[in-house]
Each structure stands twice: as structure tokens, then as C-alpha cells.
Structure 1
């Protein structure tokens, strides 16, 4: 099944865990070790999943750990961990209690109210996880397990006590916890003791008597060394049912919705007991006939029906006599029940505040303790933000890592490992998308560059003249590039134009105001156009008798032999301008006076 969900290229990077529970816990330790060793060897030889450490990944877990994982899974699926404001139970409480019952054991896990948490701090487990932003979040949870209190093991204990209650060699033993007329032979495959093999149980359908007979199996009279206690002398902090609302899974769901109710039918104790009483008092022949008519494969349904009365009696006793769930529905008001698969969020979230509700799935996902292990593992893959405390659980020691701390088994994902795991799915798509993006960005850059140079008339004219010169028959001077021409590093070109007397080919009207001695009084145009793409022509103001420098500010060499041609052109530029009423006084420059022929 896992191979159908995990992409083939990610199988070797996907961790695999095998965690055995109560069925294996009942085996002697040597048999446990041998079984786990064989399982691990099989997984390593026949799968490609990531399994570096058999001791950590293939193990028998305690009932307390199983219950803790179930608590994490339940609250994760219901959203109580990440959306606490949507699950307000009162007194600052927002998590749900967890009840699980399998074939061999039963578990309970819940976060006590503040008073009980302080009073029984040493009995709690510290659960530490990380949010997506890397911050740590801690919960203080009580968890307990009862080995032998699962539905199947409890029935074995019930039959043992029932047989022992009849002294003498009796082959047929009346059983109030079976439908009337049902006969059940206890053979060698029943898993019971030799003294019981060969006996036959005969159903009487007396459910009230069944409840009385199964009650002693709770062992409420067992010594309690640390008060308060629940079943079998097991210490449990006092449960505040105003804030502690329990979710039941596994047998709690199947026993209430298998034989006695449909999946979409709500649970309440009063109607449940009525259905059980009606069913268990019927003749077995009638029940069997109905099952055969309605079911295509009736064998499993018949077995479930044979055990249904005992399981119903056991569940009612555990819930209401053992754990102490309030008996809502028996003369007491209860909140309306809801779709117990909880597959439609919002249609009964308030009803989760009942003291007990059995559920099977949440939005299509089965509620199972195995999911809790995966949630904890995934939480450990989030890089810490401020606190470096590890993810996992252990003794209740605040802001520390206790010696018995059980780590999540995962390390924070680095950015490299994250992208490595994701790249296999998106590389092909991203390659095309990135190339397209880069091409668009390049075109946009070129377009902006062209607009930058064409948005001013001077830049446009410069580019036009460069194009004309490239088209002329005259060979361009060596060492001059198009880049130099565009970006203004072309003082040599400007010098050549002045030497040839071609300044009239440039429309210098816009520039004339920038020349010292023009009609402009502030020189703003000169400042505006002194950019990197415009050569600066500075005909400096000179004092009387001062000789001009052979290098202007831009490093342009002004050859003395070109002055004859330059001066008339400059005079022509000023000839067409309107004179002011009074002209500013100008100092004469040798550059502005025609020189005499030598």
C-alpha cells in the first residue's frame, strides 16, 4: 500500500516504521526480540525504504506511548493544535481527550485542567512539537494503559470467571451476554485454558444481568497506591468533564456503530442501550436469518453479532463506571449529537463538546495512533527558530530535555535536502518556466535601455549620427566601439568634428544656452544635459590677458589651428538670437577672436 502512495524515486528517502502494540507486548521478551529481528531483516531485504536503525524504527511501544500518539493524531485532525480559538472548552482548555480500545488493551490520554496539572505534574508527559514558523509548543498530557482490558482479552477474562462460577462438571453454561438461543462451543482454538475447552456457552439474552457480570472485570476494588484511581488501581488525575471532552476510536466506534447503529447515526447512551436490549433479547435464529438475507458475506457479520452483546456491556461499563463519563441521555440533557464520522467540518463542531463521542474518520482520514507518530516525526523536520529544544516527549520537565526523552526520530530539513526532494517533481516544468522568465526579463531590459537613450533629443541625435557615420564610406577610426559612441566616451570624435568644421551639421540651438556667454542667466540647461552621454563643451570665462589651456575640463585637446574655422561657426549660432535690452558684460576670450594668419 505504501508503494502505491510514495513515488518510486522517493522510496529510498522515505522512512519506514513498524511499531508493535499490545498483541506483541503479551509475548515473552525473547520472543519479542526474535520477532522484531526477523521483521527488520525482511524489510531491509525486500524493500527500499529508508531503515538505518532497526532498534529505533522496529520496536514494541508501550501502551502509554500508543495513547500519546493517539492523542496527537486526534487533536491534529480536529484542528485543536493549530486552531485553538476554534476549540474553546473553557478554563483556557482547547484539546480533546483520547480513548482507544483494541483487542488486548485500552488507553486514555488527556490534558488535565490547570489545577490538576499542577497537582499531578510528575504524572504528566511533556510533549514538545514545532509550529511551521519554527517556534516550539509544549503540552502536558496524562496517558495510561490497561493491558488485558481490550475487548477480546476482556471477553476471555469474562468467560474464565463465568465458567469458574459454576462448580462441578457442567458442560453447558448459561451466558447472559449472548443473544437468546445462541450456542458457542469453546474449542482448542478459543485461546482459553484447558479447563474451559469443551464447554458450551448458551445465550440467555439477559443484558441487565450481563452488565452486572462484566462490572467486576473493571477491578475497581484493586488497591490504589496514588489517589485518585480508575480501573485496576491505575492512578489517573481527576477528570474535569467541563473541559475534558473525549473522542473514542477503534472498538468505541465499531461497538457503537457496527451492529447497533449506522455510520451516520449519532451516538447517545439512552438510544444505544435501547437498541442493545432489543437486539440481545431476540432469538438468535431470527438474528442470523436477517444477517444472511441482507449481507453478501455473512460470516464476519455473524461473528460480530455473536460478540456484540458482550462488547456493548463492556464498553458501557468502561465508559460510565470505570472512566466516569457523565450519563447524558438518561434523564439528563445533552447537546445534540452530530455526524460521528466528522467528515463535514462545521456541521456539529459544537457537539464535540459532549463528554464522549465515538468517531472513525475526520474528513476522510482514519483516526489512528499511527498518524500521531508521523505528525511528531514531521514536526521534528521543521528547523527551530529560537529554541533548540528537541521535538519528542518525556517526563514533565519544563524547558529542559529529561533523561527519558524520546526524540521524534527526525532531523530538521535543510534547504538543500528540501529542494532535492522536491526537484524531482518540478524540474521539468521549472526549466521551461525559468527560461521563459529570463527571456522576458532580458527583452524588458533591452527595451528600457532603448527608451532611456531615446527619451531625450540629444541622445536620439547622437545615435542617428553614429548610424550615419557607420553608413558613410569613411572607415571609422580604430579603437572606437559602439559602446563608447553611445555612452559619451568619445572626445576624440568630437575633436574630429571640430577640426573638419562640421559643427553646423549638429543642431546646437538646444546647447547654445549652456555655453558661457549665452542669453541664459542660470545655466540650467548646461547642468541638465551634462550627463554621461553628452560631451561637455566649456568655453571658460577668462580674465584679461589669461591664455587658454590646451586641455578643457573634459580632456578635449583644442588645436590652435582649428580656431579659424571654429569662431565663425560660433558667431553664426549667436547671430539669429534676439538681443536683450542690455547685454551682460562678457570678457573676451582668445577663442572667440579670429586669429591672424601666421
Structure 2
């Protein structure tokens, strides 16, 4: 009737309108469309350079990267891989975390890094505004109190978003303090990318053998990271699900230990010496110049008399920690009250005999420490080597006692500080070995170890180092590190700490992580011109979140015009189907009730009630057997 006619007319008009809208939409689109993948960034798809500032505890490093423009002829697009070389990396000390509440100091630390990137990319100045720059801060900033950390990062963002100080593309979320787990997973990604074990069946770095992977060991100044993947075992905590494009995902164990980095652990070690928590019988050789402490006669007199000649320059603060050496010197001439914590003299079993100096790293002890190497008559038994004593002294740093609850919950699958860790994988489980970088490379170089070495070899070389006195150790340095290299000055600065560092690394890797003594570890600072570190893993992630464009291949067998005509046909068919559906819906006759010939006061529909229908369904339900 009239209703069905109106419904059919309306359906036809709606269907034709839908077809027209879709057709116009496609006709207005260019033949070679540029589809963006959903990223809200306003960067063009032709961006091919970017930067990451690795803001560590001891310094900040600028890394400049290059990659092919993200224009692809296949959907979904493949991963984009960053490229760089050692000449595109610049380091600036000290670390941002040591600058305190000084916005000018933050700008002074960032200025040379930005200038370095500008110089590397000087031929592309007209595109600087499209090149993204990221700053990712790590353990040093994670150690800061929250209010100080936020203040420093606010100054960092203000500097990088100011076009007069930084001409590169920056958004406020590009600068942040990353979590320890991010740092760990970026390190794992970087190692497997550079070693060719990240992705299957593609060309270039990081693509060769997906069935075997490397674990990653990173030793920074403030924190240390471990990450590995083993397919034959569940990960009950500290799991990081890493998705690599649409080709592969990994359930990686990744954890970061704050205050377990090289310098923070050393600071904790000195605190333990000062408080009497570290050491054996020789810990009695502690002299507290403020409280009186242990009176050991000749030892105390020699130490107290030596203070004025061994204090460093009062205006010099090697690590940037807020401690005034001048006030410590002044305290020596003042009356010492019962609660005064004055300078402290300690014997360090990990220092070479003949070495003595003050230590300005007093952020934990809050006092000046005068430290000296242990002589044979300082309490060390002849039956114990210096390495053994140093290993024993380092063990408390691992906080193994905190594992009690973890051992109960996870049946003794714990590492250090009460943290769960599954057993480290073995080569039999499709695992290569661990790859160590950052601070590990300094130790390997000084111990003159090969790139692949076992912990047993580390123990052997460490034993030789710990037995050297200070004069012999200084002469030995030139035989293992090139005096003309940049690393020589760094090695010389920390020369007295190598026995301690070797002992700490042995305890960390073996007692802590559970790496076997005969298992090889690969250590390297560079691979094929690429700096090994978490930064390249982070850049790999950031690049693949940038916009991408689709470009049909030049040798495509189907022209863009043919694709357009095909799309028009599909649109037309879809429109006709819509018309048919609307027509059927609009013209379906309504069901009319039929009444029996009964009295008008009582009638019964030929259709049953809903309640009766439900009861019928229950009564006539099929028998599926006993449940």
C-alpha cells in the first residue's frame, strides 16, 4: 500500500545517496593516496634523521641517527632501522642529576650537545624543524627526590622546546625519565638488533636468526640492568612483552636495579665501611675523628695527623654531590661534641696497598672519608687473598637477606634485593649467551680480557689486579690501555677501584644473577660502527611510531587507474546491496492477529504468549545428556 511505497522510495533515496557519497569521496582522493598510520604527529613521512640524548648519571650523550624515509610499497609496512656511527655520538659531563637546582647549569649541559647535532646535520639546516629530538634520562635521575627530578626535567623541556636554543622538532613528552624496565628492554632490543637475532627473513641488521637470542647486561653508574628471553620457561614477574612490528613478539624478562650501578654501589660500599656493616676482623681499623671511635694507637695518630695534607681542594667536588669539604676541614680545629660526625678514616680491603686519599663521595655517609689500602699488618690473614677479602666485603651490597619473602613466594627463583628472577637460560634452550656493555667494557679492557670470556677468567685476572700495590698498578695501566686514548684518562681516574669493581661484578653476575663460572660472556662497546647501548634500541622504537606513507611500486602490474575503477565498482555494488536491504526492511508486511469466532468479551490470539513460548522452550529443550 501507501506505507510500503513510501518505504521503498525512502530506501532507494538513501541507497543512492550513500553510493553518491562514497563515489565522490573516492573521486576526490588522489590516485596515489598518502595514508598515515594513525600517529597524531605532524611530521612529514620524508623525515630521515633524529636524535636521542642519553642523560645518564655521569654524563649525557647525544646520538644522531639516520634512516630511510618511511615511504613503503607494501602494507603493513616493514620496520625502519636506525643507522649511525661513532662520529655521530658526543658525550658531555657531568650528568644532569648532579647539577642541583640550577636552570642555567642545565642549559650549559645541553648546549654543546645540541650544537654537536647541528654541526653533524649542518647540510640539512632547512629540515631541522622536522628532525625529532628525544631526551631519555636514566638511573641518575631516578635516584633524585621527586620534586627535584620534576624541577630539572621542567628546565630540560623548556630548553629543548625553545626554538632559539634548540631548532629541532620537540614535544614535551619527548623528554622524560624512563623506567628501569624500559632501559632494560631497550638494551635487549639493541643487542639483538645489532647481533642479527631480532627479526626473521628480512635484510639488514637485526634480522637473521630469530630462534636464538642474546641476553643483555648493562652496568651504568646508578643502575644495572639484566634482560633475557627463554621460550621454555614462564616468567612470573618483571615480564616485558615486546612486539616487533606484526612479525614477532617476545616475553622478555627485564629488570633494573637502582643503586646497584657502578658508582652508586661504590658509594654504598663506602657507607658500609663507615658504619661497620661491611668487612671482617679488619673492620676494627676504623677511626672516627669525631666520636673518638676505635683507638688503635699508632694507626689513629697517623691518620689524624695526615688529614690536612690529604684533603682535596675544598672548592673541588668531583661528583657534584652537595658536600662542602671546607667545612669538614674547619671541623678538625673545632671542639668535637658528643653527637658530632666528623671526618672518618677507614681501611678499604679492595684498595691497592700504598694508596691513600680522601673520598668526596659522601652522599650516604654525609662525612669526609679518609681511605687507605690495606697493608699486610692491617689485619688481613695470610691465608686469605686480597681478592677473597674484597669478594667477602662486596657480598652485603647484593642485599641477599632481602630475598627471604621472594624465596618463599617464588621457590628460590630470586636474584638480589628480594627481586624475582627465573633461572638464566642456557645454550640448550635456544639461547646464545649474555652480551654485556657500558661499564663492563671498562673492566674487560683493564683486565685485558678477550671479547668472549668466562667469569672464571675474570676471577683469575681480578686476582692478579688485587695483588698489585699502588705503584705497580699505575705502571700496569699503560700496558693494557692506550695512553693516547680517551679511555686512558677515565681508567686512570678510577684506577684504584678496579679490584673493587672486578669483585663487585663477579658477585653480581654469579651470586646475584646466577651466571655460571664457566659460561662465556661477550663484551663490546661497538659493533660494526654502532655504539652498543640502550639508546639505539630506544630509537628503533621511536622511529617506528613516526608517520609513514604508502607509495605503490613503480613496477606494479595494476595501474592506479585500474585500482580506482575497481574501487568504483565495489562502491556501486555496496550501494545496490544497501538499497536491497533497506527495501526489504521497509516493505516487510506487519503480522496481523487472527481471532476465533467467540464472544467479543473473550478472544484468543492464534499466536501464543511470550511466557508460553519460554515454557515451551524449556519443555521441548533438546536432551544433551547429563551435565
Quickly name the TM-score band, shorter chain normalised: 0.5 to 0.7
For 1:248, the equivalent position in structure 2 comes to: 436
Report how far residue 216 of structure 1 moved: 1.8
2-side partners of 1:256 and 1:224: how far apart?
Answer: 35
2:594 is equivalent to residue 414 of structure 1:
no
Give 1:69-218 correspondences, 5 Å limit: 69-83=186-200, 93-117=211-235, 120=236, 123-130=238-245, 135-165=246-276, 166=283, 168-169=293-294, 171=303, 172-187=345-360, 190-194=362-366, 196-204=367-375, 206-218=386-398
2:119 is equivalent to residue 4 of structure 1:
yes
Out of 317, 320, 329, the position equivalent to 2:507 is 317
| Count of aligned pairs | 349
2-side partners of 1:301 and 1:207: how far apart?
Answer: 20
2-side partners of 1:95 and 1:367: how far apart?
Answer: 16
Give 1:294-333 correspondences, 5 Å limit: 295=483, 300-328=490-518
For 2:91, the equivalent position in structure 1 comes to: none
Residue-by-residue CA offset, 1:112-140 (whole Å, 9 max, x unaligned): 333324xx3x642221232xxxx443221
2-side partners of 1:230 and 1:248: how far apart?
Answer: 18
Residue-by-residue CA offset, 1:12-37 (whole Å, 9 max, x unaligned): 11111101111011111111111111
Contact 1:248 1:357 in 2 (8 A): yes
Of 68-77 and 285-294, more deviation after overlay is shown by 285-294
Out of 378, 384, 392, the position equivalent to 2:543 is 378
Contact 2:350 2:387 in 1 (8 A): yes
Residue-by-residue CA offset, 1:514-537 (whole Å, 9 max, x unaligned): xxxxxxxxxxxxxxxxxxxxxxxx
Contact 1:23 1:104 in 2 (8 A): yes
Give 1:225-374 correspondences, 5 Å limit: 225=406, 226-227=409-410, 228-242=413-427, 243=429, 244=431, 245-257=433-445, 259-261=446-448, 266-289=452-475, 291=477, 295=483, 300-328=490-518, 355-374=520-539
2:405 is equivalent to residue 224 of structure 1:
yes
2-side partners of 1:20 and 1:206: how far apart?
Answer: 37
For 2:4, the equivalent position in structure 1 comes to: none
Identify if the C-alpha distance between structure 1 residues 84 and 139 changes in structure 2 by more than 3 Å, giving closer, same or farther. farther
Out of 157, 161, 182, the position equivalent to 1:65 is 182
2-side partners of 1:300 and 1:87: how far apart?
Answer: 32
Report how far residue 87 of structure 1 moved: 10
Report how far residue 265 of structure 1 moved: 5.4
Contact 1:21 1:60 in 2 (8 A): yes
Give 1:531-550 correspondences, 5 Å limit: none
Contact 2:139 2:222 in 1 (8 A): yes
Structure 2 gap segments, 5+ residues each: 1-115, 277-282, 285-292, 295-299, 304-344, 376-384, 554-627
For 2:69, the equivalent position in structure 1 comes to: none
Contact 2:199 2:206 in 1 (8 A): no
Of 137-146 and 159-168, more deviation after overlay is shown by 159-168
Give 1:444-463 correspondences, 5 Å limit: none
User: Which is strand-richer, 1 or 2?
Assistant: 2
3-state SS in 2 of match to 1:158: helix
Contact 1:241 1:355 in 2 (8 A): no
3-state SS in 1 of match to 2:213: coil
Identify if the C-alpha distance between structure 1 residues 5 and 415 changes in structure 2 by more than 3 Å, giving closer, same or farther. farther
1-side partners of 2:451 and 2:521: how far apart?
Answer: 15
Residue-by-residue CA offset, 1:281-305 (whole Å, 9 max, x unaligned): 1221232245579736875433221
Identify if the C-alpha distance between structure 1 residues 89 and 319 changes in structure 2 by more than 3 Å, giving closer, same or farther. farther
TM-score, normalization by structure 2? 0.51
2-side partners of 1:33 and 1:69: how far apart?
Answer: 23
Residue-by-residue CA offset, 1:396-418 (whole Å, 9 max, x unaligned): xxxxxxxxxxxxxx3x31248x9
1-side partners of 2:190 and 2:466: how far apart?
Answer: 35
1-side partners of 2:201 and 2:260: how far apart?
Answer: 33
For 1:557, the equivalent position in structure 2 comes to: none
3-state SS in 1 of match to 2:152: helix
1-side partners of 2:457 and 2:423: how far apart?
Answer: 28
Contact 2:458 2:506 in 1 (8 A): no
CA RMSD of aligned residues (A): 3.1
TM-score, normalization by structure 1? 0.54
3-state SS in 1 of match to 2:422: coil
Identify if the C-alpha distance between structure 1 residues 177 and 57 changes in structure 2 by more than 3 Å, giving closer, same or farther. same
